[in-house]
Amino acid sequence: MVSRRGELVISGTSTSRRRLQQYLSDEEGWLPIQPELHRAAYDQHPAAAVGAMQSLGLVEVQGEQEHLGRACTVYRTGQPPSGGVATAPGDGEHTDVCIDAAGLVLHERWEIGGAVVVERTATALELDPEIDGTSFEPGPVVEEEALSRLFTTIAVEADEETMARLETSLPVPPGYVDDGAVFRATGGGPSGGASAPGSAEIVRFYSSGPALLEVAEVFVDGDAELGAGAAVPVDIDGFGEVWFEPGFRSSSLRARTGDSSYVDLRHHDVAFLFDVLRSLEPA
CB atoms closer than 10 angstroms to residue 86? 24
Domains in the chain, CATH or no CATH each:
2-42+133-146 (no CATH), 46-121 (no CATH), 153-282 (3.40.1000)
For the segment 43-83, what is each residue's pLDDT rounded down to a tens digit?
Answer: 778 888 888 899 889 999 999 999 999 999 999 999 988 87
Closest CA to 219 of 182, 266, 165: 165
Least confident interval from 81-85, 102-106, 109-113, 125-129: 81-85
Percent of the residues in the chain that have a pLDDT greater than 70, as a whole number = 84
- Which range has the worst mean pLDDT, 12-26, 48-62, 211-225? 12-26
* pLDDT for the residue 233: 92
**Tens digit of each residue's pLDDT (9 = 90 or more) over 159-186:** 899 999 999 999 999 999 998 898 888 7
Helix (H, G, I), strand (E, B), or coil: what is residue 19? strand
Q: Exposed, middle or buried by CB within 10 Å (0-12, 13-18, 19+), for 256?
A: middle
Query: What is the H or E stretch that residue 51 is in?
Result: helix 46-55
The residue ranking higher by pLDDT, 213 or 8, is 213
Q: How confident is the model at residue 195 (pLDDT cuts 50, 70, 90)?
A: very low
* Whole-prediction pTM: 0.77
| pLDDT at residue 191 greater than cutoff 50 | no
Q: How does DSSP classify residue 7?
A: T
Q: What is the torsion angle, in degrees rounded to the nearest 10, for the CA atoms of residue 170, residue 171, residue 174 and residue 175?
A: 70
By the 8 A CB rule, do 263 and 218 touch? yes
